[in-house]
Chains A and B, each alone.
Chain A
Amino acid sequence: MKKDPLIIAFCCNWCAYAAADLAGISRLQYPGSIRIIRVMCSGMVHPDMVFHALEKGADGVMIVGCHPGECHYIKGNEIALARADIIAETLEDMGWERDRFQMTHVSSSEPERLVQAFRDMHERLEALHQNTFAGVEANE
């Protein structure tokens, strides 16, 4: 049985959420596995929130913020980038695969870039699940 992955995307209010809005207006398609959570800035997403999402059943988590240097709050996305480093490094400590987390930068005028990032994440998680199940069957 194939189950769609569930992806939580923390989108910053000023760039990523606006881009998602524009993607909707432009009728761009992206996988239904994405659940967007609007945050005021990518820099307010504490690593605890990412791990909490995974523990509560999300298959993957994305943090989407403005391009470096274009943060509405001057350096919030730099903090997010530094945090993304430690999230990526500690994922394996906590028993999760590295592929389950992604940090992406988009501007509010780049809906295609956002949609592409969503699609890539969806495909990566599908591949991850396929590999996991293939591994289970091989062990049996």
Chain B
Amino acid sequence: MKDKRRPRLSFVWLHACSGCEIALLNSGERLPELLNKVEIVHFPLLVDHKFGGEQEFALPEADIGFVSGGVASEEHLALLYSMRRTCRILVSLGTCATHGGVPALRNRWTAAATLETVFGDTSGRATVAAEMPALLDRVYSVDEKVRVDFCLPGCPPHPEMIVHVIETLMTDGQPRLPGKSVCETCPTIRTGEMHRTVRRFLNNAEYDSDEPVEEMRCLLEQGFLCMGPVTAGGCGGLSVPLCVQARVPCRGCYGPVRPEGNQLLDMLNVLASHGVDHRAIVDRQSLLRFSGAHGLLRLTRKTK
């Protein structure tokens, strides 16, 4: 920096769980190095800093802003607008911010139906609704509401990747994502022979626990619904994808490989073009469990 001033970082969370922020704190030895180079002006997880509420927010000016979580209520929206005004560069951090994430699963129903189901008492009236900021009609990703300079998906994003993005943006560089699918980073054995139907994950996959994961047969070929082909890779850093390390199929938490992709459609396409019977999938729309924003999950016709 020319004026020797440290770059100021600001973090806010919207409809989020704080996992993305904790992932940053989990970056080990690189964290103290990073903290020596930046100034954190706003970070609700770390610093108690009053900044208003509901509609009026007074956020400090910052060079790089990070938003985690989707936009679900009027309060989130006001906070997001305030964040956009005060940050020179805005990064959406985590799959909720980039693709809606798990909270966007409510987009299948109306906001009223969600309130009744989640907060309803025995008479079906929503009891907590009065104390909550008004819900938007659906959960939006951050880039649907404001201009975003960089999208970093992941649930949570890999700690190394978060630090890499911060360090690159500090030097006015443009960070790059791997742009590969989970399958491209997965070392399991693929033979091209698919199981003909989709099996539910009620029994373990076939593998020898004494052997490394490289000796395991591809879980999708074993008939389990592994979202690897349609999910952006990078969850394991430079090593094996995390779910595959644990010998369970990929859940799809990094969102689609191309930012504008549709995991539901692409996954069904993978199954169909390999002759697998997709009708065995119990709840098809749950394939969008991490990427239901951008209008991909629609109201079901059963909704009142």
Task: Report A's interface with B, CB cutoff 8 A.
Answer: 43, 46-48, 51, 79, 82-83, 85-86, 89-90, 92-95
Chain A residues closer than 8 Å to B301, beta-carbon distance: 92
Contact of B298 among A43, A51, A79, A95 (CB under 8 A): A95
Bound Cα distance from A94 to B301, whole angstroms:
11
Contact of A48 among B261, B273, B284 (CB under 8 A): B261
Number of interface residues, chain B, beta carbon within 8 A? 17
| Contact between B265 and A90, CB atoms less than 8 A apart | yes
Q: Give the contacts of B255-279 with A (CB-CB under 8 A).
A: 261-262, 264-266, 268-269, 271-273, 275, 278
Q: A47-B268, A48-B265 are in contact. Are A83 and B273 (CB under 8 A)?
A: yes
A44, chain B: closest CB distance, angstroms = 10
Nearest A residue to B300 by beta-carbon distance?
Answer: A93
User: Which 10 residue pairs across A and B have the least CB separation, nearest first?
Assistant: A82-B272, A86-B268, A95-B298, A79-B273, A86-B272, A83-B272, A47-B265, A47-B269, A86-B278, A90-B265
Chain A residues closer than 8 Å to B269, beta-carbon distance: 46-48, 83, 86
B222 CB–A CB distance under 8 Å: no
Interface centre among A43, A93, A94 (most CB of B within 10 A): A93
Chain A residues closer than 8 Å to B114, beta-carbon distance: none
How many A-B Cβ pairs are below 8 Å? 44
Chain B residues closer than 8 Å to A47, beta-carbon distance: 265-266, 268-269
**22 A–B pairs (Cβ distance < 8 Å), ordered by A:** A47-B265, A47-B266, A48-B262, A48-B269, A79-B273, A82-B273, A83-B269, A83-B272, A83-B273, A86-B265, A86-B268, A86-B269, A86-B272, A89-B268, A90-B268, A93-B264, A93-B285, A93-B298, A94-B265, A94-B296, A94-B298, A95-B298
Chain B residues closer than 8 Å to A82, beta-carbon distance: 272-273, 275
Chain A residues closer than 8 Å to B296, beta-carbon distance: 94
Contact of B264 among A79, A83, A90, A92 (CB under 8 A): A90
Bound Cα distance from A47 to B270, whole angstroms:
10
Bound Cα distance from A83 to B275, whole angstroms:
10
Bound Cα distance from A30 to B271, whole angstroms:
35
Interface centre among A43, A83, A86 (most CB of B within 10 A): A86
